[in-house]
Amino acid sequence: MNLTLKVWRQKDANSPGRFETYEARDVIADMSFLEMLDVVNEELIAAGKEPIMFDSDCREGICGTCSLVINGIPHGGHRGTTVCQLHMRHFQDGQTITVEPWRARPFPVIRDLIVDRKAFDRIIQAGGFISVNTGGTPDGNAIPVSKQISDKAMDAAACIGCGACVAACKNASAMLFVSAKVTHLNLLPQGKAEKDRRVARMVSTMDEAGFGNCTVTGSCAAVCPKEIPLDMIAKMNRDYALAIFKGE
């Protein structure tokens, strides 16, 4: 198939950006979206032109690096799918595809389709840890955890921190990401020691980074490649209210 790409090009965060048009010819339906961009870049390099800059790492849908907005939807709009796992068979021959970076003030553009997501790192540093005693590795069954709690914690831990929730939200809210990270640890016995301090610090750091408020539109959960549910936000809000009541 042959496609027309309208790609956002921007030198850095302080330079004006623009859309540029490229032709993607002889695209194989079984290619991933990133493999298609690789082929386009090979042609640009062969022609002596600057390739399109984008992030990628594992290309297996587990690292969250492939942060692209495709036709206005983060990760392209196929449920539970990252860009690196989005295949070209979902597009039609002759189609025009618009490719942009995440659009949020806390995610400044580094270059072209690459954004700086250090704000997420600062949120994790604020409370994404637990206190443990050093020494020998404890037995895996030393602390009993019910299946209901372990399943919920695993659902939260599935978050890969890609930032699609922020890019999809009209307020650029990071509540789904933060709630997943908070809930993962707050549910488990190992995370109870910092439970109140964790949620207070992570929410405070999120606000300081400039992310917007959540108005529960559900757009974040709709584009999340790991399908983190909205009830994570409700759980975090309860934990946060309790932490503030206790004076954290």
**pLDDT tens track for 39-85:** 999 999 999 999 999 999 999 999 999 999 999 999 999 999 999 99
Confidence of residue 211 (pLDDT cuts 50, 70, 90): very high
Q: State the pTM of this model.
A: 0.93
Find the CATH number of the domain harbouring 86: 3.10.20.30
The encoded tokens of residue 56 equal 């990628």
Among left, alpha and beta (phi > 0; psi -120 to 50; other), residue 201 is alpha
* Pairwise CA distance, residues 177 & 179, whole Å: 6
Beta pairing class for 73-74 and 3-9? unpaired
Q: What is the pLDDT of residue 144?
A: 85
CA separation, residue 123 to residues 5, 54, 171 (Å): 35, 24, 18
Would you tell me how many other CB atoms lie within 10 Å of the CB of residue 136? Answer: 6
Q: State yes or no: pLDDT of 96 exceeds 90.
A: yes
Domain that holds residue 217: 118-245
**pLDDT tens track for 1-21:** 999 999 999 999 899 999 999
Average pLDDT value for the chain? 94
Q: State yes or no: pLDDT of 104 exceeds 80.
A: yes
* Pairwise CA distance, residues 162 & 86, whole Å: 15
Domain boundary among 92, 111, 130: 111
Q: Are residues 160 and 234 in the same domain?
A: yes
